[in-house]
Amino acid sequence: MSKYSEKNIKAYGNNFTTMTPGPVAKFLRTCVIYQFIRFIVINLKMLVVVKKSH
């Protein structure tokens, strides 16, 4: 897609069908402490999967 075809698209307009994040989602996406805890949990899940396969 070129810039020319995207210039008429207005984010958050009536024809824009993507969901917009609410205040809680915005907070969780920008909270460093939450992101760090989420990172640790995902890594622990990965370790369990790798341990099961070996």
Confidence of residue 53 (pLDDT cuts 50, 70, 90): confident
Query: Is the confidence at residue 6, as pLDDT, over 80?
Result: no
pTM: 0.58
CA angle 26, 27, 32 (to 5 degrees): 120
Helix ranges (H only) for 1-54 are 3-6, 23-30, 32-53
Confidence of residue 45 (pLDDT cuts 50, 70, 90): very high
Give the Å distances, CA to CA, from 4 to 1, 7, 24, 34. 8, 6, 34, 39
